[in-house]
Amino acid sequence: MNCSNFWSLLPARGCRHVLGCAFILLGAITTAPHTFAEQSAAAAPPPEVDPPVLTTAIEEPLPKPVDDVALNGPPPVESYALPPAPSEGGKAVYGAGAAITSAPKRFQWGARLTIRGVYDDNILLSHFDRIGDWYVAIEPAITIGYGDSIVGRGGNYIRLDYAPSIFLYADHSDADSIQHLIRLEGQHIFGRLTLGFSQDVQILHGSHLDTSTLDASAIAIAGSINAGVNGRTNAEFYRTNLGATYDLSEKTFLSGRFVYWVDEFNTLISSDGVYGILYFNYKYSPKLAFGIGAGGGWNEADLSPNQTYEEGRLRVQYQLTGKISLNASAGVSVRQFDSPDGSSRSDRVSPVYEIGAVYQPFDGTMITLRGTSEVLNSAVVANADYLPTNFLLGVRQRLLQRVYVGFTAGYEHADYFNTVPGADVSRNDNYYLIEPAVDVMVTRWFTVGAYYLYRTNNSPIDRFDYYENQFGLRASFTY
**Closest C-alpha among 131, 53, 127 to residue 92:** 53
Between 325 and 276, residue with greater pLDDT? 276
Q: Which of 63-72, 196-205, 433-442 has the lowest mean pLDDT?
A: 63-72
How many angstroms separate the most distant Cα atoms in the chain?
75
Most confident option among 53-67, 97-111, 293-307? 293-307
CA dihedral for 169, 121, 23, 73, sign (positive or negative)? positive
Q: Helix and strand tally (H, E) in the chain?
A: 4, 19
**Residue 472 confidence (pLDDT) above 90:** yes
Spatial contact of 463 and 127, defined as CB atoms under 8 Å apart: yes
Distances (CA, A) of 38 to 70, 111, 443: 18, 25, 10
Q: How confident is the model over 214-255, as pLDDT tens digits?
A: 333 223 333 334 455 666 778 888 999 999 999 999 999 999
Q: How confident is the model over 387-402, as pLDDT tens digits?
A: 989 888 889 999 988 9
Q: Indicate the pTM of the whole model.
A: 0.76
Distances (CA, A) of 129 to 132, 167, 177, 453: 10, 21, 20, 20
Spatial contact of 371 and 384, defined as CB atoms under 8 Å apart: no
pLDDT the model gives residue 41: 31
pLDDT-derived band at 108, boundaries 50, 70, 90: confident
Strand partners, 354: 329, 372
155-162 mean pLDDT: 88
DSSP 134: E
pLDDT the model gives residue 61: 33
Spatial contact of 385 and 417, defined as CB atoms under 8 Å apart: yes
Written as one letter, the residue type at 204 is: L
pLDDT-derived band at 320, boundaries 50, 70, 90: confident
CA distance 355 to 444: 32
Mean pLDDT of the chain: 75
Q: How confident is the model over 302-311, as pLDDT tens digits?
A: 988 999 999 9
> Is 48 exposed, middle or buried, given 0-12, 13-18 or 19+ CB atoms closer than 10 A?
middle
Spatial contact of 158 and 107, defined as CB atoms under 8 Å apart: no
CA distance 453 to 128: 21
pLDDT-derived band at 426, boundaries 50, 70, 90: confident
Q: How confident is the model over 358-378, as pLDDT tens digits?
A: 898 888 898 988 888 999 888
Between strands 193-204 and 235-247, the pairing is antiparallel
pLDDT-derived band at 457, boundaries 50, 70, 90: confident
Spatial contact of 449 and 437, defined as CB atoms under 8 Å apart: yes
10-33 mean pLDDT: 40
Q: How confident is the model over 31-44, as pLDDT tens digits?
A: 333 333 333 333 33
**Residue 190 confidence (pLDDT) above 60:** yes
pLDDT the model gives residue 110: 85
